[in-house]
Structure 1
């Protein structure tokens, strides 16, 4: 019978792979450096191969060590999912959930729905991480996040997505802008305008350009914003026009400004240009049904918030 590595040894290896330093890895595992070093040596003896290159001043994993660390992370993640799956059979959405959210969604949606979610799911411990799509997907694939709330579509290996709702784009400009006098703004009119966008790396930028069938700039713009709030201030200062999602508008992002919005229309399309907000999780996870329950709870909280807003 083959002797197998212990979860403790696997945890030591993954911590060392992440930190590239014995001291920091030991701290992350809450053990002494000598204990962690001994655990790595035990694992190397068990496998009959070197996992760490100890001939250099820096801690460097051998190619085999890197491959073993990746497999160790997968095994630990699967073991954790076994425990969570057993727990959710008796009580779904109870316990920790690490959720990553993009910055063009998080500040505009979460403050409005989290109170209702906490009331509906009192045993859910929600840990939030806000970041750009690319980095969130990397953390999801690495097992550092359980679930993502972001704009679809995304291109990512071994990731499953589930759409929740459309988020329409609207044309935004100052009150005195010529297009502000129109009831609707046709997409061809945007070609003649100084269109301000979020800087490269924000998925909203690409989704807005794709939804409105606009070409990507041949070179980086001299004026690009780091957030939707900055984008609104640039428009308010007369630097150009922009496209804003309904989520941000419903949250009051234009409050206190001279910026107005108008619906966007495309003659050949039935629906206005929009992005799709949805969830993403690792393909093959045993928690997919639980994540869908979270999505349904999120939609219910949004619906309740809109009803309260209308009645108020």
Structure 2
């Protein structure tokens, strides 16, 4: 049994015709037919039912075809692994990013990666921290950009930047006349929060712990509302429903007329954003290239960590 014979097998199952399958495999029909017959004899099973008009795959043949496809894909993966060994930057890098970072970092990051390492396209996945950690452990992702803290999963970590928080208020709100506010002053306001699962929600509740009780009980609905994304919450703020806390990179260069973004007074709350990957992941050069691409992004208002 050879990979070539398995490729012929899959082609016949796909085309349901020996002539079309031979054409797809760039061989003569007799060559393909002989290979399929040889494979059936070796396995001592009937894979195809032949008639004058069409070819059908037997029930047992369908299982064999599915497994043949797996073997072909795994053989191709061996070639990809060898290729990455020769050039660690060659081939896609599967990157996860949390929801509160992705929309603000990825547009610039993708451009930087295309310019710097065009041979390493990014396969992107946005999700919650917990889900991204699961995908890292299972090997579905190669690395992820997360905000600390998160459960220790035995991952390798490289810090990227410290990102301060800002306060978003309606332009018509009395506080909009201020340039900065303390966390203490937020206690009297209606605070809009991200829904459960977002780590940034927990960061905000660390800044304003008194709102934690509103997040889990119905009585708090008058003082604490939830949104599915930072952009949704900003629209809620603009419509006058309350105020919110956002990360620096989500603040647009030209804020819309109905919103005002204020600074926190000292001490300014912030979050540390890091790049995480499995310690067993061997494409170290790819991780370094990605981190360098992040550092080349604009990252206005954040403190890069070059260590």
Q: What corresponds to 1:228 in structure 2?
A: 230
- Alpha carbons 1:169, 1:245 under 8 Å: kept: yes
Instruction: Select 2:239's aligned residue among 232, 237, 240.
Output: 237
Query: Aligned pair 1:101/2:100, yes or no?
Result: no
State which structure, 1 or 2, has the greater radius of gyration over its C-alpha atoms.
2
The Cα RMSD (Å) is 3.1
Note the alpha carbon deviations across 1:182-224, whole angstroms, 9 max, x for none.
22101110111111110111111112222x2534522255320
TM-score, normalised with respect to structure 2: 0.66
Query: Aligned pair 1:194/2:190, yes or no?
Result: yes
- Residues 1:199 and 1:38: Cα distance change in structure 2 (over 3 Å): closer
Deviation at 1:91, TM superposition (A): 3.0
Q: Whole-Å Cα distance in 1 between the matches of residues 297 and 241 of structure 2?
A: 37
Query: Aligned pair 1:294/2:290, yes or no?
Result: yes
Instruction: Select 1:176's aligned residue among 172, 176, 197.
Output: 172
- Residues 1:274 and 1:81: Cα distance change in structure 2 (over 3 Å): farther
Q: What corresponds to 2:64 in structure 1?
A: 35
Deviation at 1:38, TM superposition (A): 8.5
Q: How many residues align?
A: 230
- Residues 1:276 and 1:181: Cα distance change in structure 2 (over 3 Å): same
Q: Whole-Å Cα distance in 2 between the matches of residues 36 and 157 of structure 1?
A: 38
Task: Give the ranges of 4+ consecutive aligned residues of structure 1 lying more than 4 Å apart after TM superposition.
Answer: 36-39, 80-84, 86-90
Q: Whole-Å Cα distance in 1 between the matches of residues 183 and 156 of structure 2?
A: 32
- Residues 1:89 and 1:265: Cα distance change in structure 2 (over 3 Å): farther
Q: Whole-Å Cα distance in 2 between the matches of residues 103 and 170 of structure 1?
A: 17
Q: Whole-Å Cα distance in 2 between the matches of residues 228 and 216 of structure 1?
A: 18
Query: Aligned pair 1:261/2:256, yes or no?
Result: no
Instruction: Select 2:132's aligned residue among 133, 136, 155.
Output: 136
Q: Whole-Å Cα distance in 2 between the matches of residues 177 and 128 of structure 1?
A: 38
Deviation at 1:127, TM superposition (A): 0.6
Q: Whole-Å Cα distance in 1 between the matches of residues 111 and 296 of structure 2?
A: 12
- Residues 1:119 and 1:181: Cα distance change in structure 2 (over 3 Å): same
